[in-house]
Each structure stands twice: as C-alpha cells, then as structure tokens.
C-alpha cells in the first residue's frame, strides 16, 4: 500500500528535496535527480509526487527556475550601487562565484527557454541589461551585448565547474583577463557602428 504524502509536502518542498539531491557530493549532480530518488528522500511513494509535479521534466524546470532566482538574487546584490565597468566586474564575479559554490546546481540548469523559467530568466536578463546601460547600449544592441556577456560567463563557469581547465596557469588570472577583455570590448565600438 502506497503511503500518502506527508502534510508538509508541497511543490516547493519537492524542489527543496531535488536541490538537496543535486547538491550532494560526487554522487550528486543532475544525474542524481530522479523521481524515485526524490520520493525516497521525501519519504513518500513515487506516485505521490505527481500531486505536486507532472514528471521529471517539470521538476527539472522548477529546479532551474529556483537556481536562476538564486543567481539573480546574488548577481543583483553584487551590482547594486555600481555602474559601468565596476558593475560588469561585479556581475561576472558573482556569477562565477555562484557556479563555483554550487557546481552541481549550476550543471543542473536547463539552458533552453521554458515557461516555468521565464520569470527567473527575465530577472537575470534585466540585471544584465541594467548593467550594460552605462555603455549607451539600447534595444537590439543591448540584447546582443547581454547575450555575449551571458555566453562568456556561462561558458567559463560551465568549463571550470566541469573540470575542463587542466593546464597549470591559475584560473583566477584567466578569469581576470576575460573580465578585462569584456570590459575593453564594451568600450570599443563595433566596426560599422561608430
């Protein structure tokens, strides 16, 4: 006989359990996220989860929204009161710091646009656009620059947390160079736009 869900089980509680599973050591990460593992950790039968999430795909999307909101909170706090180069440096540092502190969460992010992650993703984009405003970027130019900024910080964070950098040069020095290149690029007009 299947156990009924605990009274405290809710969609948020299911996402909390999923985060815990993803965070746990070497056996954690996105691969650890299964409905049966979440149910076992929550102390319920797997079918009981369907009262709170439609399936693993929805749970992954809800988890991604939570992670993006955490990132938006941290990145937003880092850039608050800063502008121009100082804000870009703070944004890039906060993004990398989050990924380094939570490598399994970062790896679990669903990168494709999805309705359940739209609000959290919009918060991150709004922070990037506000950070880039000091460079006089508007409309399409601001979107292109925000995409470039995201590609740079996400790419480095994904490679670093995935253990892809094996050469002996210090990663902090590499990241400082990357930040310098981004800031310098924001001050350099694109060919044909000046």
Q: What is the pLDDT of residues 43-63, one digit of tens each?
A: 999 999 999 999 999 999 999
Picking from 130, 114, 17, 22, the residue whose alpha carbon sits closest to that of residue 72 is 130
CA distance 62 to 67: 9
pLDDT band with cut points at 50, 70 and 90 for residue 191: low
Q: Which residues contact 126 (CB under 8 A, 6 or more apart)?
A: none
CA distance 87 to 147: 16
CA 109 to chain centre: 6
Q: What is the pLDDT of residues 84-117, one digit of tens each?
A: 999 999 999 999 999 999 999 999 998 887 888 8
Has residue 3 got a pLDDT over 80?
no
Average predicted confidence (pLDDT) for the chain: 91
| 161 neighbors 113 (Cβ within 8 angstroms) | no
Please give the pLDDT value at position 116.
83
């Amino acid at each position: 006989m299947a156990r009924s869900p605990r009274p405290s089980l809710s969609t948020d509680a299911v996402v909390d359990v999923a985060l815990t599973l993803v965070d746990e050591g070497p056996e954690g990460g996105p691969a650890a996220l299964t409905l049966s593992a979440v149910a076992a950790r929550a102390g319920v039968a797997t079918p009981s989860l369907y009262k709170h999430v439609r399936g693993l795909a929805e749970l992954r999307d809800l988890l991604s929204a939570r992670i993006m909101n955490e990132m938006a909170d941290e990145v937003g706090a880092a850039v608050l009161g800063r502008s121009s180069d100082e804000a870009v440096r703070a944004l890039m540092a906060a993004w990398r710091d989050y990924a380094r502190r939570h490598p399994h969460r970062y790896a679990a992010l669903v990168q494709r646009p999805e309705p359940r992650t739209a609000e959290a993703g919009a918060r991150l984009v709004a922070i990037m656009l506000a950070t880039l405003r000091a460079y006089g970027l508007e409309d399409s130019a601001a979107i292109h620059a925000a995409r470039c900024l995201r590609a740079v910080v996400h790419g480095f964070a994904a490679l670093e947390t995935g253990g892809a950098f094996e050469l002996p040069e210090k990663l902090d020095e590499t990241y400082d160079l990357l930040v310098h290149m981004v800031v310098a690029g924001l001050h350099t007009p694109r060919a044909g736009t000046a």
